[in-house]
Structure 1
């Protein structure tokens, strides 16, 4: 028996378009897919470490194989779970947030980052809640400890990303895959949302995980 988990992206929710689309297809295959709400009722205190702890708590035991699908920041979390837990046997990363922190801080600019640090609050648009919500600077401090160079466990990984990703340039995934022979990158005609290529994404997931209606 394999345990399947889907991790949504930053400022999103377990009701996102991709989460529901993929969840419905798993249901059609009669395969349980766990889709936690990584906001955990408190988006303001979100950290990657908290996400990893929340996701790992869903593992049924210490030996049952786990396969994870992660979108954007959820993709980064999935990669770290694969690094930290030997029972994670394969990953599908959808537009993973590789280099997310540096990109975001650069986008905000030095003055806004300094203000965020001083006030311990930055308003961001939360797509799941459809409103602006604050997030603490601890998110930044926590994420600084996670260097991509440490992601070196040879775990079968499939990255699906749009060539026109406006949030996380596809160059990050190209570099990540080129340095890790166990990572395969499929480039799609899409942007960060990937909503126009959902059938292609499901087909790739189904093939990579060898899923069928009879899969246990």
Structure 2
């Protein structure tokens, strides 16, 4: 049974990101549908991991059709959690996945800003899809604290591609995640968080890992 492919964009991004458009075009060329949901749901302000997980579950094909998830950054973290909980997920491709995202971001914001966010309830966040700042509820933080990456243990074939010069999610986060999970293949490329200079290499790795020539 052929797998269905779903791409999950990153935090404060959109289905029209450079990476999403590139992969959409590549899948179109080989006549394989690639579903790319808008994880903002026209309400970025109330985004949470829980909401995102629920949204993606609702677009899964009927069981037992297998699903391959391709996730970028926060979409990669979301994909990892779906791979843990949804048996239909048979393969994962994680592009610069946002492991340790919350601790990294809160540390970068600083204690004063985080405290103000908690007190006021909202934080202005630049949204790359909208090209403007939008308020994000502190519920995003409260919700994400429920998700401990140590609980991701399902042995599902997983490909991680991460740039060695990533200044947003350091590659060490993926190295640490893969180190205790031997079923994960980690590929390190000379790139940053966007992976924009290595799109052809990413496509080659996805094609091989997902055996797209067999479709």
The residue number in structure 2 matching 1:67 is 68
Unaligned runs of 5+ in 1: none
Q: CA deviation at 1:85?
A: 0.5
Q: CA deviation at 1:123?
A: 0.4
d(CA) in 2 for partners of 1:61 and 1:181? Answer: 30
Q: CA deviation at 1:3?
A: 1.0
The residue number in structure 2 matching 1:136 is 137
The residue number in structure 2 matching 1:28 is 29
Q: CA deviation at 1:61?
A: 1.3
Per the normalisation by structure 1, the TM-score is: 0.98
The residue number in structure 2 matching 1:95 is 96
Q: Which moved more, 1:57-66 or 1:183-192?
A: 57-66
Determine if the alignment matches structure 1 residue 207 to structure 2 residue 208.
yes
Q: CA deviation at 1:62?
A: 2.5
Correspondences of 1:105-120 after superposition (within 5 Å): 105-120=106-121
Q: CA deviation at 1:204?
A: 0.3
d(CA) in 1 for partners of 2:62 and 2:51? Answer: 19
The residue number in structure 2 matching 1:19 is 20
Deviation per CA, 1:8-51, whole angstroms, max 9, x where unpaired? 00000000000010111001010000000100110000001111
Determine if the alignment matches structure 1 residue 148 to structure 2 residue 149.
yes
Deviation per CA, 1:113-146, whole angstroms, max 9, x where unpaired? 0100011110011000000111000000000000
- The alignment's C-alpha RMSD in Å is 0.7
The residue number in structure 1 matching 2:57 is 56
The residue number in structure 2 matching 1:187 is 188
Per the normalisation by structure 2, the TM-score is: 0.98
d(CA) in 2 for partners of 1:34 and 1:57? Answer: 12
The residue number in structure 1 matching 2:198 is 197
Unaligned runs of 5+ in 2: none
d(CA) in 2 for partners of 1:88 and 1:27? Answer: 22
Please identify runs of 4+ aligned residues in structure 1 that moved more than 6 A: none
* Number of residue pairs the alignment of both structures matches: 214
Secondary structure of the corresponding residue to residue 76 of structure 2 = helix
The residue number in structure 1 matching 2:128 is 127
